[in-house]
Amino acid sequence: MARRPGHDSGQAGFDWADYIDHLVAISGSLVAVADKLCASRGYKDDIGSVERALRRLRTRKTAPGGTWGTRVVALFGLPTAIDERVRQLGQYHSRLAELPVSMCEDLVRVWDKPPITEARAGRAWLAVARASIALRLAQLDDAIAIVDRARADLSSAPGTSASGTSASGVVGTPLPARIEAILIRAYVASRTNLAAVPALLDETAPLIDRVDDPHDRACLRARLADHRAYELNQRGDHAAAEAIYRAMPDEGPTFARTRRANGIAYARWKRGEPDAAQFALAAIEHAGDGGHLRGRAMALRNYARIASDADAQARAVAIAQHLEDETLLGRFRR
């Protein structure tokens, strides 16, 4: 994918000194960190030598960490706050994903450096973020190429838990990143090979059930419902599509409620039901409450079609333009 214009400050928000300081804070001392590393390797290494290696690692800023950088990140993973920020770059339902495309590209460049890229989870989320940006730019082939290149980081090693930690304690790929990658493949297939979509969704459904965070789980289930309903709507089975949305809870994250209301609105419109516009208006309100600009744009577009409202159409296009979202713009202008 060609690099778009954007600002790259050359500064990472997190470097090796920050990382080592974090480990010292949670372990009590640098010696304690070195001892944990030695213990994980059966005390094959001298603690003093490992401590000196960590001191050298502290000075590397955002350069590759070498052998001990790889080992320390594999054992301890990323700090929770840093993992959260990188995760939000890749999650479709996160607030960071609602930023204009160029700003998302800038954020990915800032975080796409060691020590974050020394972590498998960090690499996985950054790959998902780049693939998601490609989708927003309507570059479907690029999106698939990105997840293909990151296949090793996006797969799960045997014995890895839903949180991404293996039985040996090594931090691996978080389950939501794997799900995002599969849903990216499903989206592309829905535009290029609809028959391939059901198998991808069947793979995704049991994985979503294992997601620990209830907010993420609800949002991912809404995404899955959207995919299943899209296939049914494409076949003209609008009643079955509506039933999928009706089965979703009418409470929960605003992202999921937006998807539910907008999906019902579309299905009822296609069935000629007079209350379709009410559901579209509800979707617009839910999206506004949650700050989901893409969801609001899609709901406005849906309402514009149902109610033949040119103003709503113009508002939807304006949001898509602000977000620099070529996929939305292409959809709205058709």
3-class DSSP string for 141-171:
HHHHHHHHHCHHHHCCCCCCCCCCECCCCCE
Enter the DSSP assignment of 4: P
pLDDT computed for residue 334 by the predictor: 74
pLDDT band at 13 (very low <50, low <70, confident <90, very high): confident
Query: What span, in angstroms and rounded, lies between the C-alpha atoms of 149 and 181?
Result: 12
d(CA 305, CA 130): 32
Res. 282: pLDDT tops 50? yes
Complete DSSP assignment for 248-261: S-SSS-HHHHHHHH
56-76 in b/e form (b: 16+ CB < 10 A) is ebbebebeebeebbebbbbbb
φ and ψ at residue 13, rounded to 5 degrees: -75, -5
Looking at residue 95, what is its pLDDT?
Answer: 86
* Residue type for position 42: G
Number of other CB atoms surrounding residue 36 within 10 Å: 16
Specify whether the CB–CB gap between 204 and 177 falls below 8 A: no
Contact status, residue 79 vs residue 170, Cβ threshold 8 Å: no
From CA 9, how far away is CA 150, in angstroms rounded? 26
- Report the distance separating Cα 169 and Cα 167, nearest Å: 5
| Model confidence at 1: pLDDT above 70 | no
Q: Where are the domains of the chain?
A: 12-76, 79-157+171-212, 247-333
Q: What confidence score (pLDDT) does residue 242 get?
A: 98
- 2 C-beta neighbours (distance < 10 Å), count: 6
Q: What is the mean pLDDT of residues 118-127?
A: 96
Higher pLDDT residue, 254 or 12? 254
From CA 207, how far away is CA 96, in angstroms rounded? 24
CB of 223 closer than 8 Å to CB of 263: no
- Other Cβ atoms closer than 10 A to 212: 12
CB 166 within 8 A of CB 172: yes
- 156-190 residue pLDDT tens: 643 344 545 443 344 467 899 999 999 999 999 99
pLDDT confidence of residue 7: 37
Enclosing H/E stretch for 126: helix 120-136
Residues 63-91, mean pLDDT to the nearest whole number:
95
The per-residue pLDDT for range 54-68, each reduced to its tens digit, is 999 999 999 999 999
Cis bond before residue 115 (omega within 30° of 0): yes
Question: What pLDDT, on a 0 to 100 scale, did the predictor assign at position 34?
Answer: 98
Nearest CA-CA partner of 177 in 154, 150, 147, 152: 154
Residue 172: what pLDDT?
61
Report the share of the chain in percent with pLDDT over 90.
88
Q: How would residue 230 be classed by pLDDT, with cut points 50, 70 and 90?
A: very high
What own/partner pairs with CB < 8 Å and gap ≥ 24 does 321-326 have? 322/100, 322/293, 323/98, 323/99, 323/100, 323/101, 323/136, 323/293, 323/294, 323/297, 324/100, 324/101, 324/102, 324/136, 325/101, 325/136, 325/294, 325/297, 326/136, 326/137, 326/138
Which of the two residues, 14 and 9, has the higher pLDDT score? Answer: 14
Q: In the prediction, which pLDDT does 215 show?
A: 96
pLDDT computed for residue 244 by the predictor: 98
The lowest-confidence range among 9-13, 215-219, 228-232 is 9-13
- Number of other CB atoms surrounding residue 151 within 10 Å: 10
Residue type (1 letter), 261: A
- Classify each residue of 257-266 as buried b or exposed e, where b means 16 or more C-beta atoms within 10 Å of its C-beta: bbbbbbbbbb
